[in-house]
Amino acid sequence: MRVVVGYHHSADAAHKLVPTLAGAGHSAHPAPVADTAALTALAATIAHDYGRCDALINCAGITRFVAHTDLDALDDELIDTILATNVRGAFAAVRAFRPLLDKSSLPGGGVVVNISSTAAEIAMGSNVMYCASKAALDNMTKSLARALAPRIRVVSVSPGFVDTNFVKSLDKAWRDEQASRSPLGRLATPQEVAAAVAAVIATLTCTTGSVIKVDCGRTLG
C-alpha cells in the first residue's frame, strides 16, 4: 500500500517517517482531526493524488492524567478537547473519506480502523473523560459498521497497556506490576498493535463492527 501519514503538530516526525516505509508513493500531509475543513481538503488532495482510499486509520488521540476522583481538575476545556479529538475527529474523518473508501477494490471493501483502548471497557485510564471517549468510539464503530455496510467495514482495535518508549521510560517496578496483571504476564508491543491493524485490513475481511483487543488478556481480570 501507499501510506499517507497524517499529522497535527508533528510535521517533522511525519516527514521523517515517510522515507523509512517500504515501497514507494508514500506522503505526509496535515490532518488536524478537530478541523473538518482541513480533513475535507486532505480528502480532496488524496483523491487527486491517489484516486481512492482503501483504509483509514483513526489513531489521533489526546488526554491528560487527571485522578478520577478529582472532578474539578477535569475542566470543561479539557473535556471538550478530548471529545473533539477522540470522538468527533474520528467521525469527521470517516465522513470526509467515505466517498474515497467507497471506491476501494480491497477484498471486503474499504475499511476504517479506529484505535480505541481497553479503558472503554474497564473505565480505568488517564482520566474519566478519556475512558468515556473510547467507549463512545467503540459504540460509534458499531453504528458506522451497520450504516456503511456492505461497501465499507469499520472495526475498533483496542490496546491495553502497550510497551512504548514512553512506558519504558516509567518506573520499572510499576511497569512490571502492570505486566503481571495480565494472564500473559507481559505488555503488548507496538508491533502487535500494528499487526492487528494490518490483519483487520488484509485478512479479517468479513469482520465489521467488532472490537479487537490487544491487551495480553488484561480485561479478563
Helix, strand or coil, per DSSP, at residue 76:
helix
Domain boundaries, the chain: 31-220
**pLDDT over 90, % of the chain:** 93
Q: DSSP string spanning 48-68? A: HHTS--SEEEE---------T
DSSP alpha helix (H) spans, the chain: 11-17, 36-49, 76-83, 89-101, 119-122, 128-148, 165-168, 172-180, 190-202
Q: Enter the pTM of the model.
A: 0.95
pLDDT above 90: residue 91: yes
Q: Characterize the bridge pairing of strands 27-30 and 55-58.
A: unpaired
Q: How confident is the model at residue 166 (pLDDT cuts 50, 70, 90)?
A: confident
Cα atoms found within 13 Å of the Cα of residue 149, Cβ hemisphere only: 13
Cell numbers for 76: 470543561
Domain 31-220, what architecture? 3-Layer(aba) Sandwich (3.40)
Give the per-residue pLDDT at 171: 87
pLDDT tens digit string along 107-133?
999 999 999 999 999 999 999 999 999
Catalytic residue among 130, 132, 155, 213: 130
Q: Is position 130 annotated as part of the catalytic site?
A: yes
Angle formed at CA 27 by CA 87 and CA 214, multiple of 5 degrees: 45
Q: Which of 160, 135, 133 is nearest to 61 (CA)?
A: 133
Tell me which amino acid residue 4 is.
Answer: V
pLDDT tens digit string along 146-160?
999 999 999 999 999
Question: Are the beta carbons of 65 and 127 closer than 8 angstroms?
Answer: yes
Burial (CB count within 10 angstroms: exposed 0-12, middle 13-18, buried 19+), residue 51? exposed
Give the per-residue pLDDT at 169: 86
* Mean confidence (pLDDT) of the chain: 96
Give the per-residue pLDDT at 167: 85
